[in-house]
């Protein structure tokens, strides 16, 4: 888009400012300026990167400043994408400039400098990697002066066209002086080509062909592909029990979109946990796939981003931030494991990629498939209301059955592993089967408690106990990484005797090694998977049968397909039930169902042993009976009675700071203001709090929460908008808004 001299643009700046700004474009820059690019602008007494949103037709030009520079050669975003980002900014009540900054790959901002105002001043990314290529030129050759190697090089380039410097060196050995000479003579020309770092490097993939779909898969596939043929927004829930072959449906649906010349966006909870899924996509489709996830270096991420932007990619697979991928011509968006809380970003722009998939799908007129064995209660409710189409896979794809779950009463049992579980493990390993042992707590002991004064060891920065890690010989805070040598002494009374309370995965591993000295045992939790590729190594040892037992946290529950696993053991059924969060029943049902679902996926039937103190809760009972419908009914009733989603919309306002007194005062002031505005506007909103957050102290900050509950999203928006315009900017206090909060800790 070409600009005439003295045209005006609307820009957003990456600062906590709600509004957008206007600038003049001097004629020397008008050619280069376009919506979707970044520009450098004077802002107060500093210079800032700003994002061009639009070219404005009319505005008062008298007070406008001129932009200083255009930072991008190519547009970063299309108009459609900018529209999507405006929607996000408005919905999450977050400054548009910060939304845009969040949407950019980190690598593009490598050159971040701190300038006078202590604000980030950004300039164009520099992390593009180049490679030198040579081609034959038009110069006439003075035959006699060319050496043999130079002549051979020239001949080769004339025959073979353009070649990279690396390729020429491979064929001719060291040839830099010859190439330089040829270039001086105009006989060869040099060009710089951008190269993309390949996150799949060194990974071969085997070609895989589509499977014959079973009847349920076929029905689901037909519905998805006919919605693709209609080229309009159509959202579905693909509700398939564990092992029902949802991935195969995604693969074939995506193949259909590709045949139409359209592209696919696939969101997964955390890619490093699902290498199998990425592997299957590559095996099916070969190249043209970009992956975006936290394990990439900034450079790799930026490269993937540019490959997508330039249309070199047909399929993007990524964790939540992939919802911002600059993919055009999208035909289908898949959200795998749609129930996972990790689709919600926990700080700054608190977006939910699962929800945004529906928004982007609507803006772009695509098919959206949300897949899960344990969908959110709110998702099932949306199906009931007719807002999502339902596709069901009620049976396992390979014909195997869901495992039988047996409960083991743990009253009076002191050890982590009951005699029954021990016995079953011995039998499973003897028969050549594999087992998965689940406990959603890492470390050795949950915490240490003083034998003299009974004080538990707690974190000085957070209101939590320290977890004892035996191998590291430390007691560690899982929130801020504070650590002290352990076992150590009691910080309250100096006593030497500290007792271990509660068990973590490290303890379970220790006990299992003692109980089954012959078994090959692996542990997978965030302590054993910090190294690059470590997930992959652990998972492939399970896959190729070189391990017998895998112990792990919720990491092991996610989508893994190990046909050899016939036994699943759960150390504590109630572990996730007592969280102070209205979703704790739902999470318990989901995590138990998912971990049960790892058993018996192959030919041999699966068995689950569930250790429990009190398994009467409906979340546990429904999981035991694989009764998703029953759980939904009871949970919906609970939500109706307590007034939580889907029967209310929520927004949380979090207030935090290092001074307990200031945080307390500010939260009272904020609550009073909210109440006053609510009454003035006559809105029907419940204002709860200010209450101390369940994690009252986190990384040295005190935290209080105000929860807003409303029947109308509009009322909620009106109140918050009004509050934002009335509140005084908090000093030394952070006050954040969380729309549709997921984690209430
Ligand atoms: N039509 C089919 N015929 C035979 N086997 C199939 C078919 N479809 C899928 N499978 C196999 O069934 C197994 C389970 O499939 P997949 O992993 O896709 O299930 P899923 O629904 O994603 O499970 P989960 O939700 O537990 O992760 C895989 O080994 C897959 O190869
Ligand atoms: Zn003590
Ligand atoms: Zn801490």
Q: With a 6 A CB cut-off, is 395 part of the ligand 1 pocket?
A: no
- Phi, psi for residue 699 in degrees, rounded to 5: 45, 45
Q: With a 6 A CB cut-off, is 400 part of the ligand 1 pocket?
A: no
Q: With a 6 A CB cut-off, is 615 part of the ligand 1 pocket?
A: no
pLDDT at 203: 55
Strand, coil or helix: 590: helix
pLDDT at 184: 85
Q: With a 6 A CB cut-off, is 602 part of the ligand 1 pocket?
A: no
Alpha-carbon span 247 to 254, nearest angstrom: 10
Q: With a 6 A CB cut-off, is 59 part of the ligand 1 pocket?
A: no
Q: With a 6 A CB cut-off, is 477 part of the ligand 1 pocket?
A: no
Residue carrying the six token digits 């090694």: 513
Strand, coil or helix: 117: coil
Higher local confidence (pLDDT), 503 or 247: 247
Distances from the Cα of 147 to the Cα of 162, 181, 182, 195, 456, angstroms: 21, 10, 10, 32, 81
pLDDT at 529: 83
Q: Kind and range of the H or E element at 694?
A: strand 685-698
Alpha-carbon span 270 to 342, nearest angstrom: 8
Closest by Cα among 265, 275, 238 to 561: 275
Q: Give 693 Cα–ligand 3 centroid separation in angstroms.
A: 15
Q: Give 278 Cα–ligand 1 centroid separation in angstroms.
A: 14
Banded model confidence at residue 732, pLDDT cuts 50, 70, 90? confident
Residue 104 has pLDDT above 80, yes or no: yes
Nearest-atom index, ligand 1, CA of 247: 18
Measure CA 261 to chain center: 27
Give pLDDT tens digits for 30-52. Answer: 899 999 999 999 998 899 999 99
Locate 282 and state its tokens.
Answer: 């590559």
Residue 144 has pLDDT above 70, yes or no: no
Radius of gyration of the chain (CA): 29
DSSP, residue by residue, 72-107: -SS-SS-HHHHHHHHHHHHHTT--HHHHHHHHS-GG
Closest residue to atom 9 of ligand 1, CA basis: 245
Closest residue to atom 23 of ligand 1, CA basis: 243
Closest residue to atom 27 of ligand 1, CA basis: 559
- Phi, psi for residue 141 in degrees, rounded to 5: -100, 130
**Residue 63 half-sphere exposure toward CB, CA atoms < 13 A:** 3
Q: With a 6 A CB cut-off, is 606 part of the ligand 1 pocket?
A: no
Give pLDDT tens digits for 606-632. Answer: 999 999 988 999 999 999 999 999 999
DSSP annotation of 465 reads: B
**Residue 201 half-sphere exposure toward CB, CA atoms < 13 A:** 6
CATH architecture label of 129-195: Orthogonal Bundle (1.10)
- Of the given ranges (524-528, 651-655, 707-711), which has the lowest mean pLDDT? 524-528
Q: Give 397 Cα–ligand 1 centroid separation in angstroms.
A: 5
- Residue pair 635/644 in contact (Cβ under 8 Å)? The answer is no
Do you know the residue count of the chain?
745
DSSP, residue by residue, 725-737: HHSPPPSS-EEEE
* Closest listed ligand to the CA of 465: 3
pLDDT at 197: 62
Q: Give 240 Cα–ligand 1 centroid separation in angstroms.
A: 10
Q: With a 6 A CB cut-off, is 590 part of the ligand 1 pocket?
A: no
- Phi, psi for residue 598 in degrees, rounded to 5: -80, -10
Higher local confidence (pLDDT), 380 or 125: 380
* Closest listed ligand to the CA of 283: 1
Closest residue to atom 7 of ligand 1, CA basis: 397
- Residue pair 332/367 in contact (Cβ under 8 Å)? The answer is yes
* Closest listed ligand to the CA of 479: 3
In a mutational test of the pocket of ligand 1, which residue from 208, 212, 242, 245 has the highest number of ligand atoms less than 8 Å from its CB?
Answer: 245
- Whether pTM > 0.80 for this model: the answer is yes
Measure CA 630 to chain center: 30
Strand, coil or helix: 708: strand
CATH 3.30.70.600 at 649-739, yes or no: yes
Locate 412 and state its tokens.
Answer: 């009076």
Q: Kind and range of the H or E element at 301?
A: helix 298-309
Q: With a 6 A CB cut-off, is 125 part of the ligand 1 pocket?
A: no
CATH 1.10.10 placement within the chain: 129-195
Residue 1 has pLDDT above 70, yes or no: no
Query: Domain 215-393 carries which CATH code?
Result: 3.40.50.300
Q: With a 6 A CB cut-off, is 240 part of the ligand 1 pocket?
A: yes
Alpha-carbon span 78 to 328, nearest angstrom: 9
Alpha-carbon span 689 to 693, nearest angstrom: 10
Banded model confidence at residue 118, pLDDT cuts 50, 70, 90? very low
Q: Give 61 Cα–ligand 1 centroid separation in angstroms.
A: 62
Nearest-atom index, ligand 1, CA of 598: 26
Q: Which residues, at least 6 apart from 743, have a Cβ–Cβ distance to it below 8 Å?
A: 341, 344, 346, 581
Q: With a 6 A CB cut-off, is 397 part of the ligand 1 pocket?
A: yes
Higher local confidence (pLDDT), 532 or 387: 387
- Phi, psi for residue 646 in degrees, rounded to 5: -85, 10
Nearest-atom index, ligand 1, CA of 560: 27
Average pLDDT on 388-402 reads 93
Strand, coil or helix: 376: coil
pLDDT at 648: 95
**Where are the extended beta strands (E) located within 218-314?**
234-240, 263-267, 289-292
Alpha-carbon span 251 to 255, nearest angstrom: 6
Average pLDDT on 402-409 reads 94
* Closest listed ligand to the CA of 480: 3
- Give me the sign of the Cα torsion angle 370, 398, 633, 707: negative
In a mutational test of the pocket of ligand 1, which residue from 375, 397, 593 has the highest number of ligand atoms less than 8 Å from its CB?
Answer: 397
- Residue pair 599/403 in contact (Cβ under 8 Å)? The answer is yes
CATH architecture label of 8-119: 3-Layer(aba) Sandwich (3.40)
Q: Which residues, at least 6 apart from 117, have a Cβ–Cβ distance to it below 8 Å?
A: 44, 45, 46
Q: Give 286 Cα–ligand 1 centroid separation in angstroms.
A: 20
- Binding residues for Zn(2+), as ranges, are 450, 453, 459, 462, 477, 480, 490, 493
Give pLDDT tens digits for 227-244. Answer: 999 999 999 999 999 999
Locate 314 and state its tokens.
Answer: 């047909």
Give pLDDT tens digits for 343-378. Answer: 999 888 999 999 999 999 999 999 999 999 999 999
Banded model confidence at residue 380, pLDDT cuts 50, 70, 90? very high
Q: With a 6 A CB cut-off, is 576 part of the ligand 1 pocket?
A: no
CATH 3.30.70.600 placement within the chain: 649-739
Residue 123 has pLDDT above 90, yes or no: no
- Phi, psi for residue 651 in degrees, rounded to 5: -140, 140
Closest residue to atom 8 of ligand 1, CA basis: 245
Strands of 549-552's sheet in order across:
404-409, 607-612, 565-570, 434-438, 549-552, 521-524
Closest residue to atom 30 of ligand 1, CA basis: 245
Banded model confidence at residue 3, pLDDT cuts 50, 70, 90? very low
Q: Give 457 Cα–ligand 2 centroid separation in angstroms.
A: 9
CATH 3.40.50.300 placement within the chain: 215-393, 404-444+503-637
Q: Give 482 Cα–ligand 3 centroid separation in angstroms.
A: 5
* Closest listed ligand to the CA of 478: 3
**Where are the extended beta strands (E) located within 443-576?**
445-450, 467-469, 474-476, 483-485, 498-503, 521-524, 549-552, 565-570
- The runs of H, that is alpha helices, within 455-603 are 505-515, 534-543, 584-596
Pick the CATH number of 404-444+503-637 from 3.40.50.2000, 3.40.50.720, 3.40.50.970, 3.40.50.300: 3.40.50.300
Q: Give 205 Cα–ligand 2 centroid separation in angstroms.
A: 57
* Closest listed ligand to the CA of 599: 1
Nearest-atom index, ligand 1, CA of 276: 17
* Closest listed ligand to the CA of 490: 2
- Residue pair 558/270 in contact (Cβ under 8 Å)? The answer is yes
Q: Which residues, at least 6 apart from 556, have a Cβ–Cβ distance to it below 8 Å?
A: 436, 438, 524, 550, 595, 598
Q: Give 459 Cα–ligand 3 centroid separation in angstroms.
A: 5
Q: Kind and range of the H or E element at 51?
A: strand 46-56
- Binding residues, as ranges, are 450, 453, 459, 462, 477, 480, 490, 493
Give pLDDT tens digits for 166-181. Answer: 878 878 888 888 888 8
- Burial track 229-242 (b if 16+ CB lie within 10 A, e otherwise): eeeebbbbbbbbbb
pLDDT at 488: 82
Strands of 367-372's sheet in order across:
289-292, 315-318, 263-267, 330-336, 367-372, 234-240, 389-393
Q: Give 490 Cα–ligand 1 centroid separation in angstroms.
A: 52
DSSP annotation of 362 reads: H
DSSP, residue by residue, 333-353: EEEETTT-GGGB--SSS--BH
Q: Give 496 Cα–ligand 2 centroid separation in angstroms.
A: 8
């Amino acid at each position: 888009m070409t600009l005439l001299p003295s045209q005006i643009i609307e820009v957003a700046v990456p600062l906590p400012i709600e509004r957008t700004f206007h600038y003049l474009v001097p004629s020397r820059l008008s050619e280069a300026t376009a919506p979707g690019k970044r520009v450098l602008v004077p802002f107060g007494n500093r210079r800032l990167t700003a994002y061009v949103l639009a070219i404005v037709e009319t505005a008062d030009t008298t007070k406008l400043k001129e932009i200083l520079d255009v930072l991008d050669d190519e547009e970063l975003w299309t108009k459609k994408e900018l529209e999507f980002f405006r929607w996000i900014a408005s919905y999450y009540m977050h400054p548009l400039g910060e939304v845009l900054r969040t949407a950019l790959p980190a690598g593009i901002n490598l050159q971040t400098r701190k300038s006078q105002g202590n604000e980030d001043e950004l300039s164009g990314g520099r992390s593009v990697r180049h490679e030198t290529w040579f081609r034959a030129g038009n110069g006439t050759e003075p035959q006699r002066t060319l050496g043999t190697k130079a002549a051979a090089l020239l001949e080769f380039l004339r025959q073979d066209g353009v070649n990279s410097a690396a390729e020429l060196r491979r064929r001719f050995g060291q040839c830099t002086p010859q190439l330089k000479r040829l270039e001086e003579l105009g006989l060869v020309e040099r060009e710089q080509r951008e190269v993309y770092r390949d996150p799949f490097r060194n990974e071969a993939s085997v070609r895989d062909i589509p499977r014959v779909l079973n009847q349920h898969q076929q029905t689901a596939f037909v519905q998805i592909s006919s919605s693709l043929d209609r080229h309009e927004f159509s959202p579905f829930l693909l509700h398939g029990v564990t092992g029902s072959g949802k991935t195969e449906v995604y693969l074939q649906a995506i193949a259909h979109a590709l045949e139409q010349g359209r592209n696919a966006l696939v969101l997964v909870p955390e890619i490093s946990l699902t290498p199998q899924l990425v592997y299957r996509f590559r095996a099916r489709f070969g190249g043209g796939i970009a992956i975006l996830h936290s394990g990439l270096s900034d450079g790799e991420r930026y490269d993937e981003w540019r490959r997508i932007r330039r249309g070199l990619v047909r399929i993007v697979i990524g964790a939540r931030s992939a919802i911002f991928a600059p993919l055009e011509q999208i035909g289908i968006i898949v959200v795998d494991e749609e129930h996972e809380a990790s689709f919600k970003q926990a700080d700054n722009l608190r977006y939910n990629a699962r929800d945004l998939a529906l928004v982007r799908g609507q803006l772009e007129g695509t098919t959206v498939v949300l897949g899960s064995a344990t969908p959110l209660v709110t998702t099932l409710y949306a199906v009931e209301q007719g807002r999502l189409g339902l596709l069901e896979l009620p049976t396992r794809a390979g014909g195997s059955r869901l495992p039988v779950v047996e409960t083991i009463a743990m009253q009076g049992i002191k050890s982590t592993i009951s005699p029954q579980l021990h016995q079953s493990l011995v039998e499973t390993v003897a028969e050549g089967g594999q087992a998965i042992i689940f406990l959603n707590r890492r470390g050795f002991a949950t915490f240490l408690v003083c034998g003299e004064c009974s004080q538990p060891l707690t974190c000085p920065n957070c209101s939590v106990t320290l977890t004892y890690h035996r191998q590291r010989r430390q007691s560690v805070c899982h929130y801020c990484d504070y650590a002290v040598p352990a076992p150590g002494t009691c910080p309250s009374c100096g006593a030497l005797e500290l007792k271990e309370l509660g068990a973590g995965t490290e303890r379970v591993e220790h006990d299992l090694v003692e109980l089954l000295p012959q078994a090959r045992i692996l542990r997978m939790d965030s302590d054993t998977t910090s190294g690059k590729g470590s997930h992959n190594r652990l998972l492939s040892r399970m896959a190729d049968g070189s391990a017998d037992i895998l112990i792990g946290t919720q990491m092991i529950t996610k989508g893994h397909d190990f046909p050899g696993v016939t036994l699943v053991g759960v150390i504590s059924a109630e572990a996730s039930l007592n969280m102070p969060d209205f979703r704790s029943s739902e999470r318990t049902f989901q995590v138990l169902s998912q971990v049960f679902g790892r058993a018996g996926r192959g030919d041999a039937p699966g068995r689950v042993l569930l250790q429990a103190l009190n398994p009467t809760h409906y979340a546990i009972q429904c999981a035991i009976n694989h009764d998703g419908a029953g759980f939904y009914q009871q949970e919906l009733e609970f939500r109706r009675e307590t007034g939580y989603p889907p029967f209310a919309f929520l927004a949380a306002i979090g207030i935090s700071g290092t001074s307990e007194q200031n945080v307390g005062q500010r939260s009272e002031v904020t609550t009073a203001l909210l109440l006053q505005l609510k009454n003035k506007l006559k809105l029907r909103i419940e204002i709860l709090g200010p209450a101390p957050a369940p994690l009252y102290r986190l990384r040295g900050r005190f935290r209080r929460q105000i929860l807003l509950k409303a029947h109308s999203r509009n009322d909620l928006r009106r109140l918050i908008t009004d509050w934002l315009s009335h509140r005084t900017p908090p000093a030394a206090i952070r006050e954040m808004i969380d729309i549709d909060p997921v984690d209430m800790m």
